[in-house]
Amino acid sequence: MLTNYLKIAFRTLWKHKSSTFINLIGLSVAFGSATLLFLSAAFELSFDHFHTDHDRIYRTYFSINNPKGKELRASMPYPFVPALKQEFPELAGATRYQEGHGAIQYGDKQIQKQVDGVDADVLTIFSFPMRQGNAKTALNSLSSIVLSENVAKDIFGTTNPMGKSLRVNGLGGWKDFIVTGIIADFPDNSSIQYDAFVRIENIPEYPVNKDRWDNTQHSVYVKVKSGTSQASFEKRLQPFTQKYFQGNIAELKKQGAKPDERGEIFSTRLQPLLDVHFETAMIQGLGTNRMYVYTLMLIGLFILAIAAINFVNLTLARSFTRAREVGVRKSLGAQRGQLFTQLWGETLLTCGSGLLIGAGLVVSLREKFNAVFNAKLTLDYLLQPMTLVIVLSAFLLVTLVAGGYPALVMTRFQTVQVLKGVVKAARPGLLRNSLIITQFSITCLLLISTFVVLRQINYLREKPLGFRTEQVISIPVGSEVEGKYALTQLRNRLANNPNVMSITGTGVNLGRGLDGSSSRNMVGFLHNGRDVTSDWLRVDYDYLKTLDIKLLAGRDFSPQHPMDSTVSVIVSTSFAKELGEKQPLGAFFQTDSAGTRYQIIGLIPDIHMYALRNEIKPVAMHMHQDAGITYLFVRVIPQSLLPMMETLKQEWRQIAPKSEFQASFMNENTDRWYRKEEKLSQMFSVAASIAIVLSCMGLFAIALMTIQQRTKEIGVRKVLGASVMSIVLLLSKDFLKLVLVALVIASPIAWYGMNQWLSDFPYKTDVSWWVFALTGLLAVSVALLTVSFQSIRAALMNPVKSLRSE
């Protein structure tokens, strides 16, 4: 019986090669692309789930209800954790976490790695396995260092690293450490990423700021004891916050701040560890928005839906030609269950073949997918039991829906009516039209979304930043040499180079360089009863010249004024506005009561130091020598970009011979700010392309079958004098109406969805009417070309042959 079913299935599929080919291609592409998209979404959603007690781990942050609106800050002061541990017995552990970079040296080996400052509890709060050493005691000493497996292998090779002494530069000079532990490398789905851990007390600025509650630089993670809820612990934090931040609260009240829904103006809150990866508001937009993850899943569902719709439509359309086969089988005694098994078996065979081809596409396109979309899918991840179960479950569901319904329809045919040629259920109707509208609605939705995302990316990239990025090369200093020394050396070596226009140094890179580092130094203080929060930017001479920033008033930093390197600052217009001085030029201010008294010597326009998904912030530029230089900027003449990059590489080998040269072009770095949006636009573009191709393939096959069923009608019309154009319009207009209805349905949905997405950007374009017009024109044109090809062929057919056709 099974052999007979398979033979009939193969014969039927081979007999209808065109529809079989369309179904096979559609299903294989749908299964392959949907699998890649679903796995990418699943990977993003899996972040930090591997920690044993992830439901008891939180990151602390401040919720500040100031008069300008609610502000969230995840940066904490150094004394915060010691005070927490002392006052809250329900804590199972707490750690400060401050990212850093440094050179690790052992013997004649030296490598640049991420060396993070932490507390000892970091090894017990998180579930990173210890390969060597004791998690409870490995960081008890200030001279201890814990290395990741890869770093230990790179430095020590096969030698046992435990107890060995090494040196680290990047913590205020070279320091000696003893290796007291080896920790497993962090998995790809970890928010906490590291190469080495040292105690946070080794951070250079720690001694000065260890007792200051108004200076924030690092994150804090806490782990509560079992039975302690987030709500109860946050409630317990209220008196703690009022105790240590009473000055902030009093000043906010003076400014007219109103309490939030909990009755708090300044509060300490907890963010669950599983939400950290998806946070975008508190880390300059560097997190992954959950909406992006859900969009991946939705696009995968859309592509599967279009392929399934094609299958249903083609099977139903073909049911008219198979009606007599079903009638004959019924008349010979076939039961409905047997017919259903036979017809659904053909679907299973087609879908199974599509799944196998789709699996091949996943394996072959995995690396390219990872490269284009910055994903991290591996074959091990693809072959996990849970992944296979989900894929097979989705396959069975699609097979049942796409093949089960048409099979059920055909098994309900009345034997007598079928043998007489009367098959009403198989003729075009509401279901077929609804399915065509659905798939073209999805296609229009993806097209509109693609155009809007591309417009927004283009808007962000073209919006003036307040400085000029063209012809500027950014060089990370690294940890081998001090930034000031590297800047002096580079200036001396290139002093007579005619291709160099200016050189400067800074503490913060603009854009995302090849080193992947991103940092931000902010300062908050009170001035004449006004709360001032600003980016605090370390610069050097010629910073304004190198970035072509115009002075509105005052002067630039100059070696002719020795005090410029200690007490002078250049501020942006928004900084001057927050300061509240009528004449900001020459005004004095202090960032703390016992600190330096700074004087404003220059005024510049506002500049965007970070991606435009964040509102512009006040900026204060200073040359205080306590702050290090970590990046060098070199402006070159336009014709010498590439030659100067090679020259800089050669010079850098002389300045820092053991450091990797990671120079990059600043305009490319600022473009990298929008990698997530770029990735989203690529996803939409690929999905829209697939949707258009699959929809048109289905429409082509439906049009072909419809025209075949109207062959005699076409012949009669031609005999009665109908023109070729009138017949083409007759056959095409019904399908074009469906496409227009799809556009009408998709447009308001796309408008709402894209406006919601754009609402996350403080600087954004609008959803223009021409986007919908262009989408409609494209959809109608593609559909018209698809249908017209078959319509013209039918209209040109000899009417004699048409009237003789059966």
The length of the chain, given as a count of residues: 806
- Find, among 370, 272, 375, 307, the residue nearest to 41 by Cα: 375
Among 244, 276, 308, where does a domain finish? Answer: 276
- Show the domain range for 93: 57-276
Residue 665's contacts (CB-CB under 8 Å, 6 or more residues apart) are: 469, 472, 473, 474, 641
- For residue 716, the model assigns a pLDDT of 73
Q: Are residues 42 and 76 in the same domain?
A: no
Confidence of residue 407 (pLDDT cuts 50, 70, 90): low
- For residue 5, the model assigns a pLDDT of 55
Mean pLDDT, residues 717-746? 79
Residue type at 488 in one-letter notation:
T
Q: Are residues 123 and 242 in the same domain?
A: yes
Our count of domains for the chain comes to 3
| Whether pLDDT at 480 is above 50 | yes
Structural domain includes residue 448: no
132 - beta bridge partners? 182
Contact 65, 261 (CB under 8 A): no
Structure tokens at 182: 């080896």
- Secondary structure element (H or E) that encloses residue 747, with its range: helix 724-758
Q: Are residues 270 and 342 in the same domain?
A: no
Digit-coded pLDDT (tens) for 304-319: 888 888 777 777 666 5
% pLDDT > 70, the chain? 85
Q: Are residues 135 and 152 in the same domain?
A: yes
Q: Are residues 192 and 318 in the same domain?
A: no
Query: Following CA atoms 759, 763, 769, 772 in sequence, which dihedral angle do they give, to the nearest 10 degrees?
Result: -60
Most confident of 360-374, 393-407, 473-487, 674-688: 473-487
Structural domain includes residue 344: yes
Mean pLDDT, residues 492-515? 90
Sheet containing 500-506, strands listed edge to edge, beginning at the edge strand earlier in sequence: 500-506, 631-636, 472-476, 664-665
Contact 628, 521 (CB under 8 A): no
For residue 544, what are the CA distances in angstroms to 473, 534, 636, 637?
15, 18, 15, 16
| Whether pLDDT at 416 is above 60 | no
- Secondary structure element (H or E) that encloses residue 533, with its range: strand 530-538
Q: Are residues 554 and 613 in the same domain?
A: yes
Q: Are residues 262 and 392 in the same domain?
A: no
Structural domain includes residue 302: yes
Mean pLDDT, residues 778-804? 71
Distance CA 257, CA 264 (A): 10
| Whether pLDDT at 483 is above 90 | no
- For residue 271, the model assigns a pLDDT of 93
CB hemisphere CA count around 466 (13 angstroms):
21
Structure tokens at 458: 């283009």
Confidence of residue 523 (pLDDT cuts 50, 70, 90): confident
CA–CA–CA angle 202, 208, 212 (5° rounding): 110
| Whether pLDDT at 542 is above 70 | yes
Q: Are residues 110 and 164 in the same domain?
A: yes
pTM above 0.85, yes or no: no
- Find, among 447, 446, 454, 444, the residue nearest to 765 by Cα: 454
- For residue 283, the model assigns a pLDDT of 59
For tokens 């990741």, the residue is 148
Mean pLDDT, residues 423-447? 74
- For residue 675, the model assigns a pLDDT of 79
Digit-coded pLDDT (tens) for 752-786: 988 988 887 888 888 888 899 998 888 888 888 87
- For residue 425, the model assigns a pLDDT of 46
Contact 126, 192 (CB under 8 A): yes
Digit-coded pLDDT (tens) for 340-392: 666 667 777 777 888 888 888 888 888 888 877 777 777 777 777 777 777 78
Structure tokens at 575: 């900084």
Among 617, 651, 673, where does a domain finish? Answer: 673
Pairing mode, if any, of strands 196-199 and 109-118?
parallel
Q: Are residues 178 and 314 in the same domain?
A: no
- For residue 427, the model assigns a pLDDT of 47
| Whether pLDDT at 19 is above 80 | no
Span of 70-74, 155-159, 632-636, 766-770 with lowest mean pLDDT? 70-74
179 - beta bridge partners? 145
| Environment class of 594 (CB within 10 Å of its CB; exposed 0-12, middle 13-18, buried 19+) | exposed
- For residue 317, the model assigns a pLDDT of 64
Structural domain includes residue 5: yes
Q: Are residues 316 and 420 in the same domain?
A: yes
Structure tokens at 714: 């076409």
| Whether pLDDT at 738 is above 90 | no
Q: At what angle do helices 17-45 and 675-709 cross, to 10 degrees?
A: 160
Structural domain includes residue 182: yes
| Whether pLDDT at 714 is above 80 | no
Residue type at 131 in one-letter notation:
R
Query: Following CA atoms 629, 632, 635, 638 in sequence, which dihedral angle do they give, to the nearest 10 degrees?
Result: -160
Confidence of residue 83 (pLDDT cuts 50, 70, 90): very high
Digit-coded pLDDT (tens) for 216-248: 888 999 999 998 899 999 999 999 999 998 888
Structural domain includes residue 120: yes
Span of 46-50, 544-548, 677-681, 715-719 with lowest mean pLDDT? 715-719
What sign for the dihedral angle of Cα 308, 314, 735, 737? negative
> Which residue did the predictor score with more confidence, 54 or 432?
54
- For residue 61, the model assigns a pLDDT of 92
Mean pLDDT, residues 643-669? 89
- Find, among 686, 757, 773, the residue nearest to 456 by Cα: 757
Residue 199's contacts (CB-CB under 8 Å, 6 or more residues apart) are: 117, 118, 119, 120, 139, 141, 142, 144
For tokens 């910073």, the residue is 543
Structural domain includes residue 457: no
Based on its alpha-carbon atoms, the radius of gyration of the chain, rounded to whole angstroms, reads 33
Q: How much is the mean pLDDT over the chain?
A: 83
Digit-coded pLDDT (tens) for 657-676: 878 888 999 998 888 888 77
> Following DSSP, what letter does each residue of 200-232 receive, concatenated?
GGGSTTHHHHTT-SS-EEEEEEEEEPTT--HHH
Confidence of residue 321 (pLDDT cuts 50, 70, 90): low
Residue 278's contacts (CB-CB under 8 Å, 6 or more residues apart) are: 47, 287, 288, 289, 290, 293
CA–CA–CA angle 349, 351, 352 (5° rounding): 65
Among 214, 243, 276, where does a domain finish? Answer: 276
- For residue 28, the model assigns a pLDDT of 87
Contact 38, 106 (CB under 8 A): no
Taking residue 204's Cβ as centre, other Cβ atoms within 10 Å add up to 14
- Label each residue of 60-107 as H, E or C: EEEEEEECCEEEEECCEECCHHHHHHHHCCCEEEEEEEECCEEEEEEC
| Whether pLDDT at 685 is above 70 | yes
- For residue 426, the model assigns a pLDDT of 42
Distance CA 447, CA 772 (A): 9
Mean pLDDT, residues 693-702? 77
**Max CA-CA distance within the chain?**
106
Structural domain includes residue 486: yes
For residue 237, what are the CA distances in angstroms to 117, 161, 219, 264?
25, 42, 17, 11
- For residue 479, the model assigns a pLDDT of 75
Q: Are residues 269 and 293 in the same domain?
A: no
Mean pLDDT, residues 109-135? 91
Distance CA 99, CA 102 (A): 10
| Whether pLDDT at 182 is above 70 | yes
Distance CA 13, CA 481 (A): 71
Q: Are residues 104 and 17 in the same domain?
A: no
Distance CA 341, CA 345 (A): 6
- For residue 306, the model assigns a pLDDT of 86
Span of 44-53, 387-396, 417-426 with lowest mean pLDDT? 417-426
Digit-coded pLDDT (tens) for 378-402: 777 777 777 777 778 777 777 777 6
> Which residue did the predictor score with more confidence, 413 or 45?
45
| Whether pLDDT at 428 is above 50 | no
